[in-house]
Each structure stands twice: as C-alpha cells, then as structure tokens.
Amino acid sequence: PMSSPETPPVTNVTDKYAFAFDIDGVLIRGGRPIPEAIEAMKVLNGKNAYGIKVPYIFVTNGGGKTEQERCIQLSKQLEIEVSPGQFICGHTPMREMASKYQTVLVVGGEGEKCRQVAEGYGFKDVVTPGDIIKDNPDTTPFRKLTADEMSNSRVRNFAEVKIEAIFVFADSRDWAGDQQIILDLLMSKGGYLGSRSETFNEGPPVFFSHNDVIWSASHDLTRLGMGALRLSLEAMYKAVTGMDLNTTAFGKPQMGTFQFATRLLKQWRRDTHGIDAPPETVYFVGDTPESDIRGTNDFNKESENTWYSILVRTGVFQEGTKPKFAPKATVDNALDAVLHGMELET
Ligand code: G3P
Ligand code: MG
C-alpha cells in the first residue's frame, strides 16, 4: 500500500541513511537475541547523542514461517515492534513465482508451516514430501510418518499429478527422505512420480530460498545450512545420472534480493517516516562474508546509492581468519556497527 495522506512526516528521523540487518549471527543466535542487538535497536530508535531516529529493515536468508509470524517473534526478541513492511526472508521473493507454476513440491521447515507460507504466497497446489510418503510409504524406506504428519498429509494419487517445480523453502528436517523425493522427481518423466526418464532432462526445476552452506545457530561452531543440502543434491544427481544438475538459489548474495530490499526500504521510509528521496547510504550489517558482505559489495557497484558493508564477529565470521569478501568495516557486534555508521554520518 502507498502512504496515506494523513501520515505526518516525522521530523527527527534522518532521511540521509538507513540500516539493513542480517538476523542469524547478528541479532539472534539459536532463537536467543544477542544482547548488543537489543541495545543497537534502542540506539536507532533515538537513544543516541544525536537526538535522531534511523530507519532500518531486516534481510535474512532464514525462513520456515510466514513473514507475519516471524516479525511477531522478532519483536519479542528485540524488544521493538517489527513489521512485515521492513522484513524480507529467504523465501519472500519466491512469492513472485506463484503464478508461474501450478503444482509445486515444497520442502523443509516444521510440520505444515512451509505449505502454509506457500499457499499464502498464492501457490495454488502445494505438495509436501509427507503427501508423497502417505500415498506410497515405500518411497522412503527408513522414514515413517508420525501420527501428526499422517493426519496433515493430503491423500492423492501421485501417478496422475504433474509436479512442475520444486521449492526448498526452509532447512530440511529429513535430508535422506527429502533428497530421495527430489531425486525421484528430477529423474522422472516430466514431473510424474513413479516414472523414470530415459534422458534425465525433463524433471522440474529446483529453487532454494538461499545458498548458505553454513550458518550461525546456538552451537559455538557453525552448522550446516541449506547450501549444504544443495551441494549434496547436486553431487548425488551427478553420481546417479552422470549429468550436471543446475539449480537456482534466492536470498543473499543474489542481486535480486538486494533489489527487493531497496524497494522495501523505499516503501518503508515513505510509509512510516514520510521520506520520499532515496537514502544516500545503506549500512548493511552481516556475519557471513559469502552472503552478506559479497552481496552488499556487489550491489554497491550497481546501486545509485552507497551500500556499505559491515561485518560483525558474533556469527559465522570468526577472528583469526581472513574473510573471503572484504567488508568496509569489521566490528565486534551489531551495537558497534550502528555506532560506526552513525559516527561516519556526523
Ligand atoms: O538458515 C538461515 C541462515 O542460513 C542465515 O540467516 O539471518 O544469517 O541471513 P541470516
Ligand atoms: Mg547471518
């Protein structure tokens, strides 16, 4: 929605610059807020020596629940109000594919959550691995559906269903089963389960919501992420068929995600702060050089305004290593990142 005429412009909000935050490893780790992140939000909301507020958005590769649900959770964790109007997760841009494919397989996440997200995006016919196992339990020899999965899964005859695309929305909870099903579809005759192509070039396309091989969760060391599943699937496909598999990943560092973020930030600044002109600088705060820093630096080259990358030490990046993609600044945590940006602006 466009800004309504009765929204008054707030004068103590800076129109010169804005912040964009990665979430895991910067603000949150394993469901818990990083203490300095809570303070960083307070500083942006006016608790600073300059007497100003600074607009900000969130750009995470994570996912698995609706944007609405995730924002409610983030609001509690960070002790501020976070609106879906300032939030993008890995699968948000997949929304734009809903009109392109009729029947799709959605993989990953807890229970039925990703099916709900996909349906909310407007996908008309959403299949889950559970539906497929319910139709034919022999699909995954070592995975039996739980009672809950059994009752949620939808009955249909997959021999008659053409699956047009595969979307990995969130981390798989069962790599073996999910990969078996994806592989079956890739090797099928045109997306019909139970069939085998003679040429292996007629299966559906596969889309991942991001490509992070590792990420920062509650463990001290980094954990395997969706990018690892992608690597594994591509290697398996090659081993089984002898052919290369081309898949597509959304999320950071893809330029499309940063373009999406630019549009979101523009709308957000206009709707909530009455600001019409684009910011001169966007400070992007991230913990993963391959996604956050690489994406920000690349986008800086093509964007009209400055995208300034700040790497923190609270997540994937660890001191003592050299980041593969060099940030404009490296600081300890999200609070220092905010203070760094604000200092540069004064
Ligand atoms: O699964 C999520 C993770 O790979 C990265 O999330 O917030 O660091 O982009 P984030
Ligand atoms: Mg991160």
What's the average model confidence in pLDDT over 40-68?
Answer: 96
Ligand 1 in contact with 215 (CB < 6 A)?
yes
- Helix ranges (H only) for the chain are 35-44, 67-78, 113-120, 129-135, 147-152, 175-186, 226-241, 255-273, 294-302, 334-344
Q: Whose CA is nearest to atom 3 of ligand 1?
A: 62
Sheet containing 206-208: order of strands: 125-127, 103-107, 165-168, 206-208, 248-249
Instruction: Give me 184's structure tokens.
Output: 């079956």
290 Cβ inside 6 Å of ligand 1? no
Residue 7 predicted with pLDDT over 60: no
Percent of the chain at pLDDT above 70? 97
- Checking if the pLDDT of 10 tops 50, the result is no
pLDDT(305) > 70: yes
Residue 343: CA count within 13 A, CB half-sphere: 7
For the four alpha carbons of 28, 288, 268 and 117, in that order, the dihedral sign comes to: negative
From atom 2 of ligand 1, which residue's Cα is the shortest distance away? Answer: 62
For ligand 1, say whether the CB of 109 is within 6 Å of any of its atoms: no
The model's pTM is 0.94
Name the residue type at position 104. Answer: V
Q: With a cut of 0.95, is the ipTM above it?
A: yes
| Separation CA 204–CA 133 (nearest Å) | 19
Q: Is the CB of 172 under 6 A from ligand 1?
A: no
Give the pLDDT confidence of 331-341 residue by residue, as tens digits: 999 999 999 99
Cβ of 286 less than 6 Å from ligand 1: no
Q: Is 257 in the pocket of ligand 1 (CB under 6 A)?
A: no
pLDDT band of residue 319 (cuts 50, 70, 90) is confident
Count CB atoms within 10 A of the CB of residue 319.
7
Q: What is the mean pLDDT of residues 272-285?
A: 96
104-125 tens-digit pLDDT: 999 999 999 999 999 999 999 9
Q: Given the CA of residue 315, which atom of ligand 1 is nearest to it?
A: 8
Residue pLDDT, tens place only, 204-241: 999 999 999 999 999 999 999 999 999 999 999 999 99
Counting ligand 1 atoms within 8 A of each CB, the residue from 29, 32, 60 with the most, and so the one to mutate, is 60
Residue pair 107/172 in contact by the 8 Å Cβ criterion? yes
- The per-residue pLDDT of the chain, averaged, comes to 96
